[in-house]
Amino acid sequence: MLCEKCKIREANIQYTEVVNGVKREHHFCAQCAKEMDFGVYAAIFDGEFPLGKLLSGLLGIEDTEKGPDKLSQIACPTCGTSYSEFVKDSRFGCADCYSVFGPLMEDSIKQLQGSLMHTGKTPVYQRMDHMDQSQNRDEAGSDISSKNDELFELDAKLKEALRFEDYETAAVCRDRIKELKKGNEGDA
């Protein structure tokens, strides 16, 4: 498909705009897109996608080439990769870089993802297997040594059921938690 503006070069950028609920798509080559005013997105059309700039923007890091600061002086002792090189290239030099630069990125990653741990999605068949195993343990009673352990396990099971929108299991867990808590109040 040819560029809508110059009608010479191959269009490699698709621009979609929605005005008053009407969606229109435009196709431009990188050169014409660069000449047009796309505001903050204009840097994307430099030919190569500036992944380093994107990463440094996501991490909230200033451009370290502007001047020396404390972050740019931190370097990995194993491979010698500096923090400014990491931000620029968006790559770690070795496995030790994760432990050296990790603490510097934790707050930003937590802010972006909501957690430092990646949870991802679980396939449906694994979810059902896990819930069945959990139910079998409850019935056998071998893994639950006290009411507090059972409450903790039921609470985790309740959260998991809600996360996977298994409301029947969630209701059973909720009711069992109420029973156990009522029993604890009666014991005290």
Most confident option among 40-49, 63-72, 142-151, 179-188: 179-188
pLDDT at 61 over 70: no
User: What's the confidence (pLDDT) of residue 19?
Assistant: 83
As a whole number of angstroms, the distance between CA 179 and CA 173 comes to 10
Q: What is the pLDDT of residue 140?
A: 47
- Tell me what the pLDDT averaged over the chain comes to: 73
Q: Give the pLDDT confidence score for residue 135 in this predicted structure.
A: 57
Between 63 and 121, residue with greater pLDDT: 121
pLDDT tens digits for range 102-144: 877 776 677 666 777 766 666 666 655 555 555 555 554 443 4
Structure-model confidence comparison of residues 63 and 25, the more confident one: 25
Q: What secondary structure, in 3-state letters, does the chain show? A: CECCCCCCCECCEEEEEEECCEEEEEEECHHHHHHCCCHHHHHHHCCCCCHHHHHHHHCCCCCHHHCCCHHHHCECCCCCCEHHHHHHHCCCCCCHHHHHHHHHHHHHHHHHHCCCCCCCCCCHHHHHHHHHHHHHHHHHCCCCCCHHHHHHHHHHHHHHHHHCCCHHHHHHHHHHHHHHHHHHHHHC
Please tell me the distance from the alpha carbon of residue 173 to that of residue 161, in angstroms, as a whole number. 9
Whole-number pLDDT of residue 26: 87
Mean pLDDT in residue range 50-65: 50
Spans of all domains in the chain: 1-49, 51-113, 124-187
Mean predicted confidence (pLDDT) in 43-61: 52
- Stretch 57-77: mean pLDDT: 60
Can you read off the two tokens belonging to residue 102? 């990790």
